[in-house]
Structure 1
């Protein structure tokens, strides 16, 4: 494969798994905002016809993505090939079991947020995950430090963008955004374990040798292509929001959306701008998924129950 960004861009987009339509009954955008090169899409969790937040359905969707998230593409494709050849699902069952075992049993795990970030990044942005950090864990009870995910995309300025992922699920907006921006700033400014994450590029698995070699050349600082590599970030910020509290009237999507939009414009937007400046990354390209929900504790606990970890 030629080291051509148009070719790489097309290959990466085609490699991203999932479609926005898969999420249309669960999530919808309340508002969007741009700050310099930062983009914020503020979503809300939809409610059903009876006014109940569709959190369980979102968790089931997330859990359907665990193989894609945790298992390298080459291993998935090998299992699929075996199924086509033999008609047996044994190899697929094996990787499904392996995927489930990779999730920690720690109660305060952030892996649910990482999985949701992965799902949104591939489905909405069409930036594929280029390596499965979960599959590289040496201890099932240990987390990788550094970024929560590594994704690739090509921007309009003909730059190959490596998107370091960061997800934060907190009970309050202020703590979620503060910790998220501080964490991603340390990665973008090379203050944390980003060097180890860059070394993980050696483990890139797109099941396409030519594409992998073409991409790796951009990460070689002795190559002229290194000038076309840009470090960016993609973040998930999720927190509890009062719009989902029980009231005398039935919850509707319109009411939830309007309350979230008001809070975003009045409070959250200013908070984000201040935190970006405070951490000196206001001119860095960062894409935010904002997701106020009814309860991050419920998301975390139900996610663990769904995977059989409780």
Structure 2
């Protein structure tokens, strides 16, 4: 037991070291969260405002700025860092290579699957997993998706953290939708499909073990980590929980248009507080919708966490995201 505890503490430190830094809260505000133990655990978030206007452009640009960390493997990022360190002071030429590598990963995926230009949601989910759950990314799924030998389907992300004596593995699914209800339904379908697909389940664990970010750990740390990420490990030896995380980015233009008009007497943050007061009233509805869809699909809502992120128009965010990299997807679908 002592050996297991020491191993878990070592893994906790290693995962903390692998966890990237994000500042998503500067661009997306947490409005409210459901009270435990109501299920599924549900949070409402909204794009932040510039006075009374949804600041979607800043959000899209920020998400684009996170794409190198999201899309490139930890090993490749460390190689870029070593190249940068070897350059003379002031030489930033490696920065261009990093930006091109991230851009190429997204463009290659979009060229092969133009109908799936929704990676902005995946980057958003990556940021939420780090900031809200404190969980490190275990594998750069975007770089794997551009590999012709890897299936395009599967989870959008795999993260993990050590909490209360458990290794908690988070399976991420991002959904872009016209409505919260539609996004919840899509998430429930993905959870049910993944939970019933044992082959895909084992493949995701194999990705973490063989192709993930654990390969940058030292030999001792990697050995410990691999034991915890062994799908066949004994539950008594490896206390492990799995949770499904849905990030639903959806549109509600009316919510933003119904804010009070601007006047000179309003204090800073006035419109965000007004928006939060109105939006928080949707928590019960959104949680119930997620509960219904998960239950209908035979998924376990007790193992699910849902983040609803509202913007005026998801297509605008998606287009701005690709615009930040200098590209417009061939095909945009709602």
CA RMSD of aligned residues (A): 2.5
- Mapped to 2, the partners of 1:116 and 1:222 lie a distance apart of 31
Contact 2:41/2:305 (8 A) holds in 1: yes
- Mapped to 1, the partners of 2:199 and 2:186 lie a distance apart of 14
In structure 2, do the counterparts of structure 1 residues 110 and 143 end up closer, same or farther at CA, with 3 Å as the change threshold? farther
Q: What are the equivalent positions in structure 2 for 1:45-56 lying under 5 Å apart?
A: 45-49=47-51, 51-56=52-57
- Mapped to 2, the partners of 1:8 and 1:159 lie a distance apart of 11
- Mapped to 1, the partners of 2:138 and 2:93 lie a distance apart of 26
Residue 150 of structure 1 aligns to a residue whose secondary structure is strand
Offset at 1:35?
4.7
More off after superposition, 180-189 vs 288-297: 180-189
1:253 to 248, 256, 272: 272
In structure 2, do the counterparts of structure 1 residues 147 and 134 end up closer, same or farther at CA, with 3 Å as the change threshold? same
- Mapped to 2, the partners of 1:193 and 1:73 lie a distance apart of 23
> Structure 2: which 5+ residue stretches go unaligned?
263-269, 329-334
1:17 to 3, 16, 20: 20
- Mapped to 1, the partners of 2:288 and 2:301 lie a distance apart of 16
| Alignment: residue pair count | 303
- Mapped to 2, the partners of 1:165 and 1:129 lie a distance apart of 10
Report the TM-score when normalising by structure 1: 0.88
> Structure 1: which 5+ residue stretches go unaligned?
none
2:80 is aligned to 79
More off after superposition, 37-46 vs 244-253: 244-253
Does residue 217 of structure 1 match 2:220? no
Offset at 1:248?
7.0
Contact 1:236/1:289 (8 A) holds in 2: yes
Does residue 301 of structure 1 match 2:313? no
- Mapped to 2, the partners of 1:280 and 1:35 lie a distance apart of 20
Does residue 238 of structure 1 match 2:249? yes
Structure 1 residues 154-180: Cα deviation after superposition (integer angstroms, max 9, x where no partner) = 232x22222111000101111111001
- Mapped to 1, the partners of 2:37 and 2:156 lie a distance apart of 23
- Mapped to 2, the partners of 1:215 and 1:249 lie a distance apart of 54
Structure with higher helix content: 2
Offset at 1:307?
1.5
Contact 2:39/2:291 (8 A) holds in 1: no
- Mapped to 1, the partners of 2:159 and 2:323 lie a distance apart of 28
Contact 2:259/2:271 (8 A) holds in 1: no
1:182 is aligned to 189
